[in-house]
Structure 1
Amino acid sequence: MKILKNSRQTYKAKTPMRNTLSAAIILLLLGSNLFAIPGKLSGNIHLSLSNSKSDTLKTSSLTQDFSTNWSAPFGPYITLRAGLRYHDLGINQGINQDFWQRQVQPSGEFIWNHPKFVLSSSIRRVESSNDNGSIDLLRENLGINFKSRFAGLPILNVRYEGNSATNNNSRSIRDTRDNRLQASLKYDFKNNNFNYNMTASNSKNIATDLKVSDLNHIFRWGHIFRSISNKLQITTSYSFNHRSQKTERPSGSEILQPISFFHALYNYDITALTDPLNVVGGLSDGNIEIAVQPIIDIGGNSLDQNIGVDFGYIRDVEGLYIYTDRPSDLNLNWQIFISNDNFTWEPIETLPSIVYNINFTRYDIFFDQQNSRYIKAVNTDFNDVPTVLITEIEAISSVEKIDNQTRRISSHIIDLSSRYIFSNKLTSTFDFAMRKTPISDFSNSPEQLYYSLSTKHSINNNLTQNLSFQAGYDRFSQISSKNKNVSVSYNLLFDPLETLDFSLSASTRTSYINDLKDHEGNNILLHSNGSLFDGLNLAAEIGYNKYNRFGGLPGLTTWSYRISGDAWLTRWLSSTFSHGYQMTEPVASTPRRTRRQYGVDYNIKLTGSIFLRGKYALNKDEILRNTLQEYSISWNMSSRLTGGATFFNNINNKGTGSDRYTARINYKISSRSTIFASYSDTEFTQAGRRRTSSFQAGLRTGF
């Protein structure tokens, strides 16, 4: 949180207005049952007072979070909804160190749910401000939607959405307007389905005088064929996509702006130097407000989150935008890595410039220009905010300002999927996908061709095998680059007992760039699960991976094994444990790397109301040794009164770590009302971080 200085008089002058609004909302919530308000009214109140101190600073804060929601039917078809959320955070840090920030969010919705159609509209307004006016952000949203329900006729769906965001104090920081109109027509006839979708949008950044207009048409036809015996099933589809985008901006020098990429990537990896990242579509869906699923948390002690992009080919990049669902720690550090194969990663030579942009709730990470196909950012520091979820990632590069630019793309996509059942023991599938782009001005829209063949054979009730082959390519015509991949895999599953199973998998994958072999991966994995007796489950696996890189680059050989289990030792004691080992030996004369992981968790039920939990984890290799310990006790003293305490320790051999002690107590006044209090003490071991202790008390209630 950025500390915004202002006088105590200014802070106190704002207080009456905020307290008046707070009192009004409280009276509305508490008095809802005393007045005959039509419809259904619900709400929540969260009040929290906190006092904290460090070696050099004392801080008091008051958090007020109120929300109320109302809905009521009007006749058989119409429903009205309204909501109001108010959030206020006031902080006192001594003379001339008072500041506050506030957010008010009213919303309304109209729904006409007719048997023949659904018509709805919604409006939302979000006002964010702080004491010195550096944040005076107003965001407004309007949505209108219509969907037909006429039997036997095509389904029509039309939606309009308008958004605006303005920082009234300084429009040069943020002043944008966005409009989007989407219409679709869907019709199903026997085994065929037809779908047409049109999307028109325009975006205007008044601060930079940038205008972008986008028009997209998509037509899709699908067909399903099944033989009389149902042994053969063929699914086919054809899609035509035409998109045009016009960009208008002043001519002149170069500017930094987001650039397109092929895929957004993510993985949790404590080493960051090896292991691939996985594709996560939600990181690049254009929604910067809703957290990605599965969630990516960079709050508190959630370090080593690897977030990156795949451009599809080697290109220049100079920065990353990483969006969050709420304001985050201004001092959080990120390390940047690049790769050309999504397996071996190298840190960039210079330190990046990192700024948290409160107006966009994102990290602006800039660095010297890099030339790479893959790039990722890894958070390497503790976050003072306990929970912060990632919503989006954007890549940034310099582009030359030009007056107007119009880009177009037309693509034809054909998909074919077939399955044939030879017998109840043998099934084969074939898939084919082709994308042709006769017109393509977008660098992230390649021509594609992929096909695969797989066969599943059940030898008996306990033994099954699967063999698959896949090949294909991505061709980027703008830069004359072609990525080709060929892979073969085999899986064997053996279930001799209901409580015991084995699996064997082997695969080989070869990648080519412009028809030249670039890298090759061969691996084999043996896995087993078993229950030795009731209450004890064990799992073990051993793997071998041979990774070859061509063009004079060194390869890697990796051996690994992992053992894990969970046990209910008694009715009051349960535990889980794991041990992992990975040895990576480069082909060239570079040092061998060995990674070991140990972990154990246990749960102890001392009495019917007292529970103990513990966790210990160790991760180490030749470079890094990281240990984590967490122990907690919970006590349900009565049906209304509960309490507990926790100790958490995280430290590595580089001197980075923390000790945290917490204690908490909750008293349940009613089914929806609780008062709470907690104390925490945190000490950071690395230089520049301070020891802090805090006490917090508050009320959560609703109706």
Structure 2
Amino acid sequence: MSANDHTQLWIFGKMKQLLIHTVLILAILLVVPTANSGVLPFDLTGFLDVSYGSIKFDSRDQETYKQQYSVNWSKTYFRNLRLRSNYFYSKYDVLQNSDNTAWKEEQRPTVGLTWSNKHFNLGSTASYKQDKSNSAILETNREDFSIYFKSLSEKYPKLTLRYYWDHIYNEELAAARNTKENKFQAELHESYKRSLFNYSFTRRKNNNQTNNVRTVQYQHSFQFRNTSHFKDSKLMLSTNYSFVHSAQTDTRPVAGSDFIFIPFSEALYKETASVLLDTLQRNPSLNDGNSENPAQPLINVGGTVINQNLGIDFGYPEDISAIYLYVDRFSDNTKDFHVYISSDNYNWSSYYTGPDVEFNEGYNRYEIVFPSVKTRYIKVVTSGISNFDPVLVTEIRALAEEQVDVDTKYNSSSHQLNVGSRYRLTDKFQSSLNVSFQHQSGRANDADRDNIYYALSSQYTQSEVVNHNFLWTQSYQLFNGAALDISSYTASYLLLLTPIQRLEFSFATNYQKDFIDYDENSNNLSFLLNTKGTPLTNLNFSGEVSYSKYNQFLGDDQFDTWNRRLTLDGKITRTLSMILGWSHRSTDTRSLDTTTTQTQYRASIRYRMTRTIFMRGSIQLNKNRTKYISEEFQLGWNPSTKLSLSGQVQSQDDDEMFKTTKYNAQANYKLRGSTNIFASYFINDLTEAGGEKTTSVRVGIRSSL
């Protein structure tokens, strides 16, 4: 059979499936409105997403067929008993070069039962998830069961009990994955007047039959909070105490070297090309224990997406040998990652540019391994091109390579006490004082530390025009001789002026000193002047000038930085609006006697030509050592309430490095309700950036029922 015949048969088979599923969905479309209107004695909802696509690369052709369905059913019996069920089905087929077929299929039925009354809630859920593909390594089955109880009585402390059992395995290839886990959790909650008490206990047992490692973990947690008011509420006192203790035992067949998951304080993330000088932001969803659902905001590490900075803050210097990035779907080994380390989450240095990167198909994760390093902050930055897009990050984990015994035990505990007060001396003046003490002990000696923090702030409203704010903080991280102690203090002042209703000025100054083992490590003095206003009804402006003088003595880094920024935002006519922006940054590195500058110009426009046609565009020019231009233009047309058309062009041009261009056209037609037929045409030209040119067409139907 020729390649062309094979392609025709493949397409014919997919179109046949599409026809069958479309008939099924149309039947559901007719039934669901009837169910939701109350004619049927149950609730029925769902969604569908079916599409076919054709992609042409420079070196190969690819055709894809995607289908997703979900049906949800629920019914209430005897007023208190509610049954529910869900069935989800997804399949993704890929045909490359007319004869190489790859596919992945997922189906997940779920049933649940809830019994509710005024005294308690009792519920249970069971589900089965099956993933199949053309590769035996990717075939996994997941069975899970959970049951919970929650008391609702106001007379007694509220009790919550949960039990969860989970089994993930590969029937065809047991070495790929076979893990069993069960978890029990009990929580007691009580509030009395202005006080709150909470205690929880968790026991988790995991049996990894792939490597014969068994883990048993216990955790106790206690929290107490109280808030009191005195002197006609002029004085407020708050107290918060928490205690957490964890104990874990790992059992292995033999002793030896192994990668061990290690805890950390915060997960960090930012999409930025300034990999050496930039601050990553906290992202709790990257460290919430959920490796199934994508983190928020969505972090795509697939396709041509680069400069995704994913990091970890341990809270203290820690040894680390690997980072695991869990993703929501299958990917490949073509993506590259570079490793950077830092002591302050701003000044980053390249540590390792060629780590070993392996995509583990059994766990859907990138395993990034590098020589062990001791650092507080570490991050990996994406580069290169992946054949899969999108690939969304769900979780980040840290690992250390250690010599472990047959039975290895880890213990960690934390005591934290926060005491705060706020006193309103007059209607114009109030002050607050906050003191925090935390003692932590962990799996490593360096984790045994005391954190002490003080903060004193005052707010003075001199008049309706003038406001003053003062802040002083001091913090200590004491490692009791196991590591160098860290301390810092900050003093800041903020002045707010509002001379007229539409005009505001602010002036701020900040001074910070950091010490390592009581030797001054760095200091930073900064000033900022900001103004914003609305001189005309449809015109807004803002401007800012700031200066920072930074000295790092142990690293011999001294630099002065000036920042200037101006933004205009206005509505020129009823149908035309525009935003103009300019910023300039100059940095004098005194230790190297060098000066670097970066200037940015931004402009965006939005124009509604008619009631149904609109245009918008933006252009951004960055001038550093090179010129970088980013442009985006979009045209939209809604000829009717059911039909919408749009087109978009995006380009990025670095005059010495690369140039990329993207074209996108979309059409969407509304059949009824939330059911839509869509079509898209997409061109992505990466030939001048070391990649290739791709052209894709996709058509399909999408609906929420």
Common topology (TM > 0.5): yes
> Equivalent residue for 1:647?
649
Structure 1 stretch 343-352 or stretch 100-109: which is displaced more? 343-352
Task: Indicate if the aligned counterparts of 2:124 and 2:145 stay in contact, CA closer than 8 A.
Answer: yes
State the secondary structure of the residue aligned to 2:286: helix
Distance across 2 between alignment mates of 1:181 and 1:17: 47
> Equivalent residue for 2:694?
692
Distance across 2 between alignment mates of 1:24 and 1:160: 41
Judged with a 3 Å threshold, the aligned counterparts in structure 2 of structure 1 residues 685 and 596 are, in CA distance, closer, same or farther, namely farther
Distance across 1 between alignment mates of 2:16 and 2:699: 24
Aligned ranges 1:326-341 → 2 under 5 Å:
326-328=329-331, 330-341=333-344
Judged with a 3 Å threshold, the aligned counterparts in structure 2 of structure 1 residues 8 and 182 are, in CA distance, closer, same or farther, namely farther
Judged with a 3 Å threshold, the aligned counterparts in structure 2 of structure 1 residues 259 and 218 are, in CA distance, closer, same or farther, namely closer
TM-score when normalising by structure 2: 0.92
Task: Indicate if the aligned counterparts of 1:204 and 1:212 stay in contact, CA closer than 8 A.
Answer: yes
> Equivalent residue for 2:181?
178
Distance across 1 between alignment mates of 2:530 and 2:331: 41
Aligned ranges 1:6-405 → 2 under 5 Å:
22=21, 26=25, 29-30=28-29, 32=31, 38-298=41-301, 303-328=306-331, 330-381=333-384, 387-405=390-408
Task: Indicate if the aligned counterparts of 1:408 and 1:441 stay in contact, CA closer than 8 A.
Answer: no
Distance across 2 between alignment mates of 1:273 and 1:341: 12
Aligned ranges 1:405-420 → 2 under 5 Å:
405-420=408-423
Task: Indicate if the aligned counterparts of 2:69 and 2:90 stay in contact, CA closer than 8 A.
Answer: yes
Distance across 2 between alignment mates of 1:12 and 1:562: 55
**2:683 pairs with 1:681:** yes
Distance across 1 between alignment mates of 2:560 and 2:146: 55
> Equivalent residue for 1:569?
572
Pick the aligned partner of 2:535 from 528, 532, 535. Answer: 532
Q: CA RMSD in A?
A: 2.8
Judged with a 3 Å threshold, the aligned counterparts in structure 2 of structure 1 residues 443 and 286 are, in CA distance, closer, same or farther, namely farther
> Equivalent residue for 1:656?
658
Distance across 2 between alignment mates of 1:371 and 1:146: 44
State the secondary structure of the residue aligned to 2:557: coil
List gaps (5 residues or longer) in structure 2.
Answer: 1-5
- Alpha-carbon deviation of 1:301? 6.2
Distance across 2 between alignment mates of 1:520 and 1:635: 55
- Alpha-carbon deviation of 1:23? 7.4
Task: Indicate if the aligned counterparts of 1:135 and 1:169 stay in contact, CA closer than 8 A.
Answer: no
Task: Indicate if the aligned counterparts of 1:10 and 1:131 stay in contact, CA closer than 8 A.
Answer: no
**2:597 pairs with 1:598:** no
Judged with a 3 Å threshold, the aligned counterparts in structure 2 of structure 1 residues 190 and 215 are, in CA distance, closer, same or farther, namely same
- Alpha-carbon deviation of 1:148? 0.5
- Alpha-carbon deviation of 1:515? 2.2
User: 1:194-217, CA deviations, whole angstroms, 9 ceiling, x for partnerless residues?
Assistant: 211111112222212222211111
> Equivalent residue for 2:474?
471
List gaps (5 residues or longer) in structure 1.
Answer: 1-6
- Alpha-carbon deviation of 1:384? 5.9
> Equivalent residue for 1:667?
669
Distance across 2 between alignment mates of 1:629 and 1:672: 33
Distance across 2 between alignment mates of 1:641 and 1:285: 41
> Equivalent residue for 2:629?
627
State the secondary structure of the residue aligned to 1:29: helix
> Equivalent residue for 1:3?
none
Q: Percent identity?
A: 28
State the secondary structure of the residue aligned to 2:254: coil
Judged with a 3 Å threshold, the aligned counterparts in structure 2 of structure 1 residues 226 and 199 are, in CA distance, closer, same or farther, namely same
Distance across 1 between alignment mates of 2:348 and 2:505: 33
Judged with a 3 Å threshold, the aligned counterparts in structure 2 of structure 1 residues 661 and 14 are, in CA distance, closer, same or farther, namely closer
- Alpha-carbon deviation of 1:241? 2.7
Distance across 1 between alignment mates of 2:219 and 2:660: 51
Task: Indicate if the aligned counterparts of 1:25 and 1:66 stay in contact, CA closer than 8 A.
Answer: no
Task: Indicate if the aligned counterparts of 1:144 and 1:161 stay in contact, CA closer than 8 A.
Answer: yes
Judged with a 3 Å threshold, the aligned counterparts in structure 2 of structure 1 residues 388 and 460 are, in CA distance, closer, same or farther, namely farther
Pick the aligned partner of 1:425 from 419, 428, 431. Answer: 428
Distance across 1 between alignment mates of 2:95 and 2:298: 33
Judged with a 3 Å threshold, the aligned counterparts in structure 2 of structure 1 residues 544 and 255 are, in CA distance, closer, same or farther, namely same
Aligned length: 696
Judged with a 3 Å threshold, the aligned counterparts in structure 2 of structure 1 residues 628 and 272 are, in CA distance, closer, same or farther, namely same
Which letter maps to 1:545? S
Structure 1 stretch 214-223 or stretch 638-647: which is displaced more? 214-223
Judged with a 3 Å threshold, the aligned counterparts in structure 2 of structure 1 residues 325 and 433 are, in CA distance, closer, same or farther, namely same
- Alpha-carbon deviation of 1:686? 4.0
User: 1:575-610, CA deviations, whole angstroms, 9 ceiling, x for partnerless residues?
Assistant: 122222111222212642222222221111111111
Task: Indicate if the aligned counterparts of 1:409 and 1:442 stay in contact, CA closer than 8 A.
Answer: no
Judged with a 3 Å threshold, the aligned counterparts in structure 2 of structure 1 residues 529 and 23 are, in CA distance, closer, same or farther, namely closer
Distance across 2 between alignment mates of 1:251 and 1:477: 34
Distance across 2 between alignment mates of 1:181 and 1:445: 29
Distance across 1 between alignment mates of 2:166 and 2:8: 36
State the secondary structure of the residue aligned to 1:283: helix
Distance across 1 between alignment mates of 2:605 and 2:316: 47
Task: Indicate if the aligned counterparts of 2:339 and 2:353 stay in contact, CA closer than 8 A.
Answer: no
Distance across 2 between alignment mates of 1:101 and 1:294: 26
Distance across 1 between alignment mates of 2:623 and 2:354: 25
Judged with a 3 Å threshold, the aligned counterparts in structure 2 of structure 1 residues 358 and 604 are, in CA distance, closer, same or farther, namely farther
- Alpha-carbon deviation of 1:565? 2.3
Distance across 2 between alignment mates of 1:12 and 1:607: 41
- Alpha-carbon deviation of 1:394? 1.5
Which letter maps to 2:518? D
**2:482 pairs with 1:483:** no
Judged with a 3 Å threshold, the aligned counterparts in structure 2 of structure 1 residues 471 and 295 are, in CA distance, closer, same or farther, namely farther
Distance across 2 between alignment mates of 1:11 and 1:612: 40
State the secondary structure of the residue aligned to 2:293: coil
State the secondary structure of the residue aligned to 2:31: coil
- Alpha-carbon deviation of 1:418? 0.6
State the secondary structure of the residue aligned to 2:421: strand
User: 1:496-541, CA deviations, whole angstroms, 9 ceiling, x for partnerless residues?
Assistant: 1221111112112222222222222222211111112011111111
Distance across 2 between alignment mates of 1:358 and 1:590: 50
- Alpha-carbon deviation of 1:24? 9.1
- Alpha-carbon deviation of 1:86? 0.8
Judged with a 3 Å threshold, the aligned counterparts in structure 2 of structure 1 residues 205 and 513 are, in CA distance, closer, same or farther, namely farther
**2:519 pairs with 1:516:** yes
**2:610 pairs with 1:607:** yes
- Alpha-carbon deviation of 1:136? 0.4
State the secondary structure of the residue aligned to 1:251: coil
State the secondary structure of the residue aligned to 1:134: helix
- Alpha-carbon deviation of 1:342? 2.0
Distance across 2 between alignment mates of 1:546 and 1:583: 12
Task: Indicate if the aligned counterparts of 1:407 and 1:442 stay in contact, CA closer than 8 A.
Answer: no
